[in-house]
Amino acid sequence: MTPFDESAASPGRPPPPGADPWAQTGLALTLLAIDPRGLRGLWLRARTGPVRDRVMAALAPLAPRKLHPGISDEALTGGLDLSATLATGAMQRHAGLLDHAGPLCLSMAERCPPGLAVRLGQALDTRDGLSLIALDEAAEEGEGLPQALSDRLGLFLALDGFSWSETSDITLPRAAIATAQARLGQVACGAELARLTRVAAELGIASLRAPLVALACARAHAAWRGVDTVEEPDLQIAVALTLAHRATRLPEEAPPSEEAPPEPPPDQNESDADSDQTPPDIPDEMLVDAARAALPPGLLAQLQAARMARAAQGQSGAGARRKSLRRGRPMPSRAGKPGAGARVDVIATLRQAAPWQRVRRQMMPGRAEGRLLLMPADIRIRRYQDQTDRVLIFVVDASGSAALARLAEAKGAVELMLAEAYSKRDHVALITFRGSQADLSLPPTRSLVQAKRRLAGLPGGGATPLASALQVALAAAEQARGHGMAPTLALLTDGRGNIALDGQADRAQAGEEAAQLARAIAQRAIPTLVVDTSLRPKPALRTLSDQMGATMIALPRADARTLSQTLGAALGG
């Protein structure tokens, strides 16, 4: 049975919030259909699969236009239609996706480059009637929708918790939607506006776009119920569908700083602290409960982690995309098809066409005199050679043995290299290991202030989970490659690994696992530098370093600057 048949869903009886999550999914889609302009769109977090297909099938009547993260500017905003221009001899343009009203559907949204995200965000802000359905297929923590989009899109649905048997086909009730749309303009919202704003602040949501989309959602829901004023049930739905996923804390809970990564971004910290100091009236229990009901356990922490990781991903800057057809140092042009980011080399194209003009004129007598006769085969496209961004992944041993020896010196060395990375526009990431396992303390970022802060706050002591460190480093390097960056590992350790991957203190197993991972690193040809930070170097680390195919240096007993130069030279600048 589906609650969204025309018959079942009489506008007067909405499903109670939180009662049936799948019904809520259907409701979200209905609201999106009612007010795409106010809600701006939907962030749909789901892997590809039959459950997502059901949702997409329900959205099909809205006829969303597909776009993908690699879409070119021309396809987005329109441009010269070269083939038609050449064929007709007069200028022909083609429209871009943004020129049409109606919803867009962005697949693989987690890979959406920041440039595209910003342009879509601007379009959502300025072009009336545009909305976006972002299909976020993020598999790993730390990936996710760019903030430029997640901040703007009103609704959020996560489908990964649903099994096929819990779901049913959804049919959007078109007639009821049309009725609700007609009513939308009359729905009044008095004091409820202030309540939504207050709840958003209670949930630790800094952005002011959030209460706005929540308001649109409440209005759409009121219109859907067939009433002219926003009331309690509308607010609850709005909180569950538009605010819950943005929450950075729940009011009664301890502040998130305890479970979250050690140092949340300062801004967030401040705003949290500020709103704590000036607590407004009693929190809206009902609404906060709605938020809580909408959040499966653990989702808050998970979203929080993803948000932090994204905030740290300053990586997007220069040349995150590797389109050798677009930028970089020019290379000779070659024959090819324009479009998909390729740019026509006009001079070369004209040069190619020139010798054939007389022949072609004889072959095509109808064409106007004085016009250049071009054939598609004449077209030459430009090519560029592009450099990949480097990401320096520091793997710092903070275990007891290293801390006792030379952790401070190692920190000094990393700081100097950070300063150098800054001037070279490199990205940096920081992995630290001590106790039972290694952590990615800082995902790749250009924000050196964050790197420095994480490093400064790094305590020493505990066992040495070297194998785990190598595992995390390998994963980080692979992920960086996936994003088109060139990873380099810098491992600073004394090499006395004594914790196996499963967290047991088993020196032999730990050594075996470390060796395995080292070979895996060598196999993937990730450039690696090993810095021995122990007081008396042992051959074991030398062996490990050789297995990794790494350059190894002993931490020289010298001032920090000499050290940095040594490191710089070993990394090949």
Partner 1 sequence: MTPFPFAAIVGQDEMKTAMVLTAIDPKIGGVLVFGDRGTGKSTAVRALAALLPPIEAVAGCPCNSARPEDCPDWADITDKTLVTRPTPVVDLPLGVTEDRVTGALDIERALTRGEKAFEAGLLARANRGYLYIDEVNLLEDHIVDLLLDVAQSGENVVEREGLSIRHPARFVLVGSGNPEEGELRPQLLDRFGLSVEVTSPDDIDTRVEVIRRRDAYESDHAAFMTEWGPQDAALRDRILTARAALAQVRTSNVALHDCASVCLALGSDGLRGELTLLRTARALAAYEGATELTRDHIRAAAPMALRHRLRRDPLDEAGSSARVARQLAEVLP
Does 244 sit near partner 1 (CB under 8 A)?
A: no
Does 505 sit near partner 1 (CB under 8 A)?
A: no
Does 442 sit near partner 1 (CB under 8 A)?
A: no
> Shortest Cβ distance from residue 318 to partner 1 (Å)?
4
Does 422 sit near partner 1 (CB under 8 A)?
A: yes
Site size for partner 1 (CB under 8 A)? 81
Does 304 sit near partner 1 (CB under 8 A)?
A: no
Cβ-proximal residues to 507 (8 Å cutoff; 6+ apart), any chain:
497, 498
Cβ distance 384 to 329 under 8 Å? Answer: yes
Does 302 sit near partner 1 (CB under 8 A)?
A: no
> Shortest Cβ distance from residue 60 to partner 1 (Å)?
28
Q: Which range touches partner 1 (CB under 8 A), out of 11-19, 192-200, 505-513, 534-542?
A: 192-200
Rounded distance, CA 567 to CA 160, Å?
Answer: 45
| Exposure b/e, 373-383, CB count within 10 A at least 16 = b | bbeeebbbbbb
Q: Name which position in 236, 242, 304, 316 contacts partner 1 (CB under 8 A).
A: 316
Does 119 sit near partner 1 (CB under 8 A)?
A: yes
Toward partner 1, which CB reaches closer, 453 or 519? 453
> Shortest Cβ distance from residue 149 to partner 1 (Å)?
11
Which x/- pattern over 272-291 shows residues binding partner 1 (rule: CB under 8 A)? --xx--x-x-----------
Q: Which range touches partner 1 (CB under 8 A), out of 56-64, 100-108, 109-117, 493-501?
A: 109-117
If you ran DSSP here, which 8-state letter would residue 379 be given?
-
Q: Name which position in 189, 410, 529, 571 contacts partner 1 (CB under 8 A).
A: 189
Query: What letter represents residue 162's amino acid?
Result: F
> Shortest Cβ distance from residue 465 to partner 1 (Å)?
28
Q: Name which position in 56, 62, 108, 118 contacts partner 1 (CB under 8 A).
A: 118
Rounded distance, CA 131 to CA 151, Å?
Answer: 13
β-strand 551-554 against 528-532: which pairing, if any? parallel
Residues in the chain: 573
Residue 560 CB coordination number (10 Å): 14
Cβ distance 136 to 47 under 8 Å? Answer: no
Does 116 sit near partner 1 (CB under 8 A)?
A: yes
- Subset of 359-418 contacting partner 1 (CB under 8 A): 370-372, 374, 415, 418
User: What is residue 485's three-state secondary structure?
Assistant: coil
Per the listing, tokens 């994204």 go with 310
Beta bridge partners of 331: 383
Q: Which range touches partner 1 (CB under 8 A), out of 56-64, 196-204, 393-401, 547-555?
A: 196-204
Q: Which range touches partner 1 (CB under 8 A), out of 9-17, 24-32, 84-92, 484-492?
A: 84-92
Cβ distance 32 to 42 under 8 Å? Answer: yes
> Shortest Cβ distance from residue 101 to partner 1 (Å)?
13
Max CA separation in the chain (angstroms): 88
Residue 393 CB coordination number (10 Å): 26
